[in-house]
Amino acid sequence: MMKNTIIVMIKAVLMAGGKGSRIRPLTLSRPKPMIPVANRPMIEYIVDRIKKSGCNDLVVTLSYLKNQIKSLLSEKYPEMNINYSVENSPLGTAGGVKKAAQHIKDTFFVLSGDVLVDVDLNKLLEFHQRKKALATVVLTPVDDPSHFGIAVLDEENQIIKFKEKPAASEVFSKIANTGTYIMEPEILDYIDTADKGEIDFSKDVFPPLIEKKAGIYGFIFEGYWNDVGRPKTYLQANYDVLHHKITPPPSGKPLKEGVGRLGQILVGEHVKIHENARLIGPLVIGDGCIIGKGAIVGRETVLGENVRLEENSTVKGSVIFSDSIIQNSSYLKDCIVDSNCRIERGSFIENGAVLGGSVRLGPHSRVGSERYISNSNVILPQSMVDSDYPIVT
């Protein structure tokens, strides 16, 4: 019964218009929801969750590099009824939903295109209707609430106190806003977009409504949630998919364990692996990859399509996007390498480093921990990259 209610009445608004500035340079050539997680665009995990709930009507708010998202959704989800609301300039979470108001006539979900959350939307709807809420915020316990909104609930789960991104001295709760909501259309009346630029639910809309006790409730959720906003949380999202902490599982055919083959190793089509290469799962190897003699692919690694690891190269705990080359005797640990990069022989990339698309790293170079190199930069041989390299102009 509840599933049918969702199909008939409930729309989902998917916010996918942000520029993803905190995870640049990965977002210089793609919108953030299109960043691959275990070789699938992040947005697919969210849309699959929506579809699994029984919801078939989707409104997507777009702005930055919008055509990439449109193309993917039309190709992957032709059976869904998808409408788009395009923002010419950033409007914020609430402003973006307000602009899409023409598509909203009844109760609706709001989800973010860059937040992975395994919440059961049917249970969320049931809670929201039982409480007769104006809006229900999905909340989850966190260790460090400084990056999120935090809330205090009364005995009926109504939110009575809320603070967005508190300073250390302002922390009064470790129950955080996941950025996932269900709302009644009446909330649109409280979003005033006249000459106000960006308007956010958590900063501008919820606080006055909470003060008035207008019916803003909190749904406590203790399942999987990852706000994929920084390189560290992006890497963690890939690890979590490899460890089956979030669905769907990574794709590929399991490689039989044996000498030099340990753990779950999922392999795509037309992959060539030298018999003397060493693979330690969990890991994913995309279509068309070539892994050379003596190469080591360590646990929690994701290789995109057509990645080439040359002789005696080592990659551990890293995500290497498609069409990149790691030359012989290079060592990569817990880093991110975008598409079409060339890591030349004997180079070393430390944990947390991010290389943008089409970077060329000269032989015997070293990229320091948590440094980034933006797209198309060429790094000279034997360089020590201990500061960030900006966009080439």
Residues 85 and 107 in one domain: yes
23-32 confidence digits (pLDDT tens): 889 989 899 9
Q: Flag whether 390 is in a domain.
A: no
Question: First and final CA of the chain: distance in angstroms?
Answer: 57
- The DSSP output letter for 39 is T
Please state, in angstroms and rounded to a whole number, the distance separating the CA atoms of residues 362 and 76: 39
147-157 confidence digits (pLDDT tens): 677 788 888 88
Ordered DSSP codes for 309-373: E-TT-EEES-EE-TT-EE-TT-EEES-EE-TT-EE-TT-EE-TT-EE-TT-EE-TT-EE-TT-EE
Q: Flag whether 247 is in a domain.
A: no
Contact 113, 19 (CB under 8 A): no
What counts of helices (H) and strands (E) characterise the chain?
7, 36
Residues 60 and 123 in one domain: yes
Per-residue confidence (pLDDT) for residue 195, from 0 to 100: 64
Q: Flag whether 249 is in a domain.
A: no
Domain interval for residue 59? 2-242
Per-residue confidence (pLDDT) for residue 4, from 0 to 100: 45
Per-residue confidence (pLDDT) for residue 43, from 0 to 100: 94
**Which residues make Cβ contacts (< 8 Å) with residue 58, sequence separation at least 6?**
11, 12, 13, 14, 47, 50, 73, 77, 80, 81, 82, 83
Q: Flag whether 98 is in a domain.
A: yes
Q: Flag whether 78 is in a domain.
A: yes
Residues 144 and 292 in one domain: no
Residues 49 and 191 in one domain: yes
325-357 confidence digits (pLDDT tens): 999 999 999 999 999 999 999 999 999 999 999
Q: Flag whether 141 is in a domain.
A: yes
Q: Flag whether 326 is in a domain.
A: yes
CATH of the domain at 366: 2.160.10.10
- The DSSP output letter for 212 is T
Longest dimension (CA), the chain: 68
Residues 204 and 277 in one domain: no
Residues 44 and 143 in one domain: yes
Ordered DSSP codes for 171-208: ----EEEEEEEEE-GGGGGG---TT-----IIIIIHHH
58-110 confidence digits (pLDDT tens): 999 998 888 999 999 999 999 999 999 998 887 888 888 999 888 898 999 99
297-311 burial, b if ≥16 CB within 10 A, otherwise e?
bbbbbbbbbbbbbbb
Residues 220 and 292 in one domain: no
pLDDT band, residue 20 (cuts 50/70/90): confident
Please state, in angstroms and rounded to a whole number, the distance separating the CA atoms of residues 175 and 139: 6
Per-residue confidence (pLDDT) for residue 392, from 0 to 100: 58
CATH of the domain at 200: 3.90.550.10
186, 219, 242 — which closes off a domain?
A: 242
- Count of structural domains, the chain: 2
200, 222, 242 — which closes off a domain?
A: 242
258-298 confidence digits (pLDDT tens): 888 999 999 999 999 999 999 999 999 999 999 999 999 99
pLDDT band, residue 7 (cuts 50/70/90): very low
Question: pTM surpassing 0.85?
Answer: yes
Q: Flag whether 118 is in a domain.
A: yes
Residues 160 and 195 in one domain: yes
Positive or negative, the CA dihedral 155, 159, 165, 171 is negative
Residues 277 and 362 in one domain: yes
Residues 344 and 267 in one domain: yes
**Which residues make Cβ contacts (< 8 Å) with residue 29, sequence separation at least 6?**
338, 339, 356, 357, 375
Residues 13 and 117 in one domain: yes
Residue 41 has pLDDT above 90, yes or no: yes
Residues 325 and 348 in one domain: yes
